[in-house]
Structure formats: structure tokens, C-alpha cells
Amino acid sequence: MEYRRLGRTDLNVSALCLGTMTWGKQNTAEEGFAQMDLAVEHGINFFDTAEMYAVPTSAETAGKTEEIIGEWFTRSGRRQDIILATKAAGPGDWIKHIRGGPRLNREHLEQAVEGSLKRLRTDVIDLYQLHWPERSTNFFGRLGYKHRRDEQAVPIEETIEALEGLIKAGKIRHYGLSNETAWGAMKYVMEAERRGAPRPVSIQNPYSLLNRSFEVGLAEVAHREDIGLLAYSPLAFGMLSGKYRDNTWPEAARLTLFKQFSRYTNPQAEAATEKYCQLAEAHNLSPAQLALQYVTTRPFVTSNIIGATSLAQLEENLRSIEVPLDKELEKALDAIHAEHPYPSP
């Protein structure tokens, strides 16, 4: 396993991070325990979760994933071996079962942290992330930006002040962004530096062969400001594994169960996926491993967040780090991207 520095911190995280959002919905607690055991055996030292998980979020499942991780810490005694990341939910009508409608102000962030600490059975969170912006902007698949003059979002400087207080209180060590834009990332950096407050150390956004939008604007921010990408959905909800080819819908698969996640199943995405799968097969490679290794090897990526619903899937994903990726193969991947540039933003 390769390890990379998290921002400008003294933490070195594994190049693959264990994603957890299915635990408590698609996966049982015992299955989650087994996945954590296997990941650690492969050298993973970085787990990512969120207060709203499992996904799709609901009042019944919110917080379940954190509880499973906390139980594993108690059973295994391995909290000190793991760099632990979780997230605070942002506002939205669809998430009102969390704190009556979450905000990114001091009151809500303090409540969110205390809840996560309790469920995770830990005294401190290593990386605390803002799951999505307080303001209305382009995230969760929207490429265009539409300005809302009437919105009353919590100011970024207020959120930074709250996060600084949590760091000083020893509740969190560092903070990161998620589903953020280039403007938002730079605004956090500038406001933090103006205040003399801690800067964000990472950004967790979607990035895959079907969604390379991070490369436009944010990749430069990641490099120049040392805010590396924690890439999520690197397999586009399993689409790039090839298991949905030829209109196949495997039983209990995520896109089979939850049709509302449609950003990866449009005709352009299906056409691009078929070409990526054919390219992998021509090189005797697993489509999933090729797609994952492409993400892991991008120079602006700090860690690639992999998830699975079975140990066999997780084993395959973990071994993606061993896949050779030469210049000719990269050129072939870029050629497909040029033909199908942003099918699933």
C-alpha cells in the first residue's frame, strides 16, 4: 500500500480509503466488521463515513454506519491504527431528519460532532468534513451555476470560526471540504488565512472515468493549495465495473435497488462505460480495477475512496493498486473521454 500526506498535516493516509456508506442499509454490521478487517489486512489506514450514512439516508438509518465503525473500534481495539474521517450534513429539505434541518453554524456543528463522537466511540475525529456547501451552488451532478440573490446561507467565515473552535477543544484534528467548487475551496483558504485559522486539508468530490469535472479548476486548487482530492464514486456506483452492461440489473445491486441514482445510467454514460470495459478486456484487466487505478494515480488525488457490498468486491477493489497503467493505456482512456467528456457530472 502507498501512503500520502494529507494536506499540510503530519498524517499519512493510504492511497485507498475504505468507504462505508452501505453499512446499515445494504450491509449488516457483521459484514461491515469483515470489510474493515480485510481492508486493514491490505494496509488501509483511512476510513471515511458521515453522520447521514447509511445511504439512501433516512431517519431510521442515519448514524447507523458510524455506530458500526464505533463497535468495530471497541471489538478490535484498533482505533489508534485508523485515520478516521466523517462529515457533517449540510442543509436541504431531504435531510430534515438530522437536527431538524442541518446547518453549518457553530450550534449545529457542535451538535453534529458530539453525535458522531458518541456513535464512533472515540474522543477525536481526525478529519471532519463539510458534506456539501451551505450555499446554493453546483454540486451533486449540476455543472451549471444559477445564482440566488435571496438565499441566507451561513457565511463561510462563521463556519471556519466554528471549526476552529472544535479544533481548539480537541474534538477534531483537521477539517476538509466536500462537494465543493473552486470558488468555495479558495474562499475557505483565504478566509482561514485572513483569520490565522486552520486551513482545509482536503476536498472530497466525485471523480471517475465518467466524471472528470474535478480537473477543470479544482485540480489546480488541489495542487497549489495542498488540498488533495479524496475521490468518491470512483466506480460511478458500480457502473464502471461492467456489471450493468447489456441492460443487466443484478439483484441487490445499488443501481438496481435505488433507481433515483440515475446520473450514471444515461445513454452517454452507458456508451462510455462499454468502451472503457472493452478497453480493459483488451488488456486482460478487470474493468473495475482499471477504473480505480486511473483515479488513484492522478497526481491531485490524495486517496481514492473505495466501497463494496461483498468481500469479493472489496478484495478486487483493494488489488486495483497493483494494476499497471502505462502511457499508451492512459492515451486510450483519454480518447474515450474526448468522445464522451462528461456523461455523469
- Residue spans per domain, the chain: 3-235+298-324
Query: Tell me, what's the pLDDT at 64?
Result: 98
Query: Tell me, what's the pLDDT at 17?
Result: 98
Query: Tell me, what's the pLDDT at 262?
Result: 78
Characterize the bridge pairing of strands 16-19 and 12-14.
unpaired
Query: Tell me, what's the pLDDT at 141?
Result: 86
- For residue 82, which of 133, 110, 25, 121 has the smallest C-alpha distance? 121
- C-alpha grid cell for residue 116? 458522531
| Cα distances (angstroms) measured from residue 189 to each of 23, 160, 223, 246, 269 | 33, 10, 13, 45, 34
State the catalytic residue, choosing from 53, 175, 232, 294. Answer: 53
Q: What is the pLDDT along the chain (345 residues), one digit of tens a residue?
A: 999 999 999 999 999 999 999 999 999 999 999 999 999 999 999 999 999 999 999 999 999 999 999 999 999 999 999 999 999 999 999 999 999 999 999 999 999 999 999 999 999 999 999 999 999 998 998 888 888 887 889 999 999 999 999 999 999 999 999 999 999 999 999 999 999 999 999 999 999 999 999 999 999 999 999 999 999 999 999 999 998 888 777 777 777 777 777 788 899 999 999 999 999 999 999 999 999 999 999 999 999 999 999 999 999 999 999 999 999 999 999 999 999 998 988
CA pair distance 255, 252, nearest whole angstrom: 8
Catalytic residue list contains 207 = no
Query: Tell me, what's the pLDDT at 144?
Result: 85
Query: Tell me, what's the pLDDT at 182?
Result: 97
- C-alpha grid cell for residue 73? 473500534
The CATH homologous superfamily for domain 3-235+298-324 is NADP-dependent oxidoreductase domain (3.20.20.100)
Query: Tell me, what's the pLDDT at 216?
Result: 94
CA pair distance 59, 96, nearest whole angstrom: 9
